[in-house]
Amino acid sequence: MQKINIIGGGLAGVEAALCLSRYGLKVNLFDMKPEKFSEVHKNENLSEIVCSNSFGNMSISTSSGLLKKEMEILDSEVVKTAYSVKVDAGGALAVDREKFSYEMTQKVKKDNNINIVRRVVEKLDNENIWIVACGPLCDNSLTDYLQKEVFDNKFLNFFDAIAPIVYTDSIDTSKGFWGSRYSDDKDYFNCILNEDEYNEFYENLISAEKVKVKEFEQNYFEACLPIEEIAKRGKQTLLFGPLKPVGLEYNSKRPFAVVQLRKENREGSLLSLVGFQTKLTYKEQKRVFSLIPALKNAEFAKLGSLHKNTFIDSPKLLNHFLQLKNRQNIFFAGQITGVEGYMASAATGIFAGMNIALLVKGKNMMNLPKNTMLNGLVEYITTKEGEFQPMSENFGLVEPIKMKNKKLRREKQAEIAIEHMKKWREDYESIIT
């Protein structure tokens, strides 16, 4: 019988292991700690929390709240444990870091179906099933192997250069126009700035507060400068770069400056700010980018970032089951797939685990149900066209419905998603048992 091997003791790997165990399958869970630590990990326990201890809002009218509810329906151990060790944080689910990692580790250690192997994995065989869930700071020996032996020296990225993404229905379309440079295509929304508006935007951009760069990231960004660093090279620099108006006309005139928004999904419900990768703090991004007239009241589905992060070009490599197209004994889960955040990472671990359980038991693997947040994430990372950058959960990934009141609209979308996920779980259980 094939062995099931999971690389990575983070949230995705642990969720996958516990999920497979629930269906009576034995698993080897490889974690390189304490033999070796990444630049940010310090604790020997599994599922270590190294960034924010918040797992996001709990309300189902928010994208993070809905994703957690869907994960509950799928028996997420991460969500169960998080609620058991939560600390007061208003409407957010925040946890005691040490208790969370300890409790997750104990669950794995007490599970007779899971064998924890504390060492670095440097290569994968073709005989057994593998889930690669090694996270955004994957060990170099494994990434070198994947790059050379699995990806043919392509499809592996080592840093994020993510521009902010806004919901299309939140922009002021009277402050711009649809069009493309030098063609009649309507692929971009062009946000217009006059000279005074540009000057105000520029002065705020160069003086805005930035996130501190970690020591191991210092030399990572020479090939992809943050927009605020480009701006510091001179007041006219942006007008020959990301905000150049060349090739665009509005009312038979060339605008002084233009910020282009590009469609991020096939439905066109999400638009990204072209060339706006940034190290500004989240608070400052909202303030400064809202000075662009068309974005004055824009709702951000995702804010920009620029940091070290190993992730694969999932749309070219993975099918809808998070399985490699060219080596079907290998699956991927967690942040290495291009999802962002602890909950999204854990959710992909559950999904990969559930489908591997079907595969091992001789059943057909199952696509997720439409109109769910998890399906939106998986569909995005496996079908995104053009340049691929990581994505976190947001309502732009869920099929829209027509309701004017945003809160009621989100609640209705959540109601539909929960209903669909419950039905899917019932169907899954009837097939696997």
Do 295 and 426 share a domain, yes or no? no
The closest of 71, 11, 55 to 417, measured between CA atoms, is 71
Q: In the numeric block, which tokens belong to residue 237?
A: 């620099």
Do 297 and 313 share a domain, yes or no? no
Over the stretch 234-253, which tens digit does the pLDDT of each residue have? 999 999 999 999 989 888 89
Burial bucket for residue 183 (CB in 10 Å: 0-12, 13-18, 19+)? exposed
pLDDT confidence tier of residue 34, bands split at 50, 70 and 90? confident
Segment 256-279 mean pLDDT? 89
Do 153 and 251 share a domain, yes or no? no
Over the stretch 336-353, which tens digit does the pLDDT of each residue have? 999 988 999 999 999 999
Strand partners, 306: 161
The closest of 264, 257, 223, 255 to 241, measured between CA atoms, is 257
Domain CATH for 379: 3.50.50.60
User: Are the CB atoms for 130 and 109 separated by under 8 Å?
Assistant: no
Give the pLDDT confidence score for residue 314 in this predicted structure: 95
Residue of 311 and 4 predicted with greater confidence: 4
Question: Burial letters for 119-133: b for 16+ Cβ neighbours within 10 Å, e otherwise?
Answer: ebbeebeeeebbbbb
Burial bucket for residue 407 (CB in 10 Å: 0-12, 13-18, 19+)? exposed
252, 273, 303 - which closes a domain: 303
Compute the distance between CA of residue 355 and CA of residue 348 in angstroms, rounded to an integer. Answer: 11
Share of the chain above pLDDT 70, in %: 95
Over the stretch 196-244, which tens digit does the pLDDT of each residue have? 999 999 999 999 999 876 554 444 455 467 899 899 999 999 999 999 9
Do 258 and 311 share a domain, yes or no? no
Element (H, E) at 387: none
Do 370 and 400 share a domain, yes or no? yes
Do 73 and 95 share a domain, yes or no? yes
Total domain count, the chain: 2
Give the pLDDT confidence score for residue 125 in this predicted structure: 93
256, 287, 303 - which closes a domain: 303
Residues 6+ apart with CB under 8 A from 413: 66, 371, 395, 398, 399, 400, 401
Give the pLDDT confidence score for residue 41 in this predicted structure: 64
Do 14 and 150 share a domain, yes or no? yes
Give the pLDDT confidence score for residue 42 in this predicted structure: 73
Question: Which residue's structure tokens are 């007061």?
Answer: 88
The closest of 83, 115, 114 to 100, measured between CA atoms, is 83
Do 287 and 177 share a domain, yes or no? yes
The strand pair at 270-273 and 300-302 is best described as unpaired
275, 303, 331 - which closes a domain: 303
φ, ψ dihedrals at 377, nearest 5°: -65, -50
Over the stretch 37-55, which tens digit does the pLDDT of each residue have? 766 667 889 988 876 778 9
Do 63 and 100 share a domain, yes or no? yes
Give the pLDDT confidence score for residue 216 in this predicted structure: 46
Share of the chain above pLDDT 90, in %: 67
Segment 80-95 mean pLDDT? 88
Least confident of 55-59, 92-96, 307-311: 307-311
Strand partners, 188: 179, 262
The closest of 383, 382, 372, 380 to 418, measured between CA atoms, is 372
> What is the extent of the structural domain holding 103?
4-160+307-432
Q: Is the pLDDT of residue 356 over 90?
A: yes
Do 253 and 382 share a domain, yes or no? no
Element (H, E) at 94: strand 92-95
Do 234 and 356 share a domain, yes or no? no
Do 17 and 153 share a domain, yes or no? yes
Question: Which residue's structure tokens are 């509810």?
Answer: 69
Over the stretch 154-179, which tens digit does the pLDDT of each residue have? 877 766 677 899 999 999 999 999 98
Compute the distance between CA of residue 139 and CA of residue 187 in angstroms, rounded to an integer. Answer: 39
Give the pLDDT confidence score for residue 280 in this predicted structure: 93
Give the pLDDT confidence score for residue 220 in this predicted structure: 44
Average pLDDT, the chain: 90
> What separation in angstroms does the CA of 126 have from each of 5, 96, 165, 167, 326?
12, 40, 39, 43, 11
The strand pair at 300-302 and 257-263 is best described as unpaired
Domain CATH for 180: 2.40.30
Residue of 365 and 269 predicted with greater confidence: 365
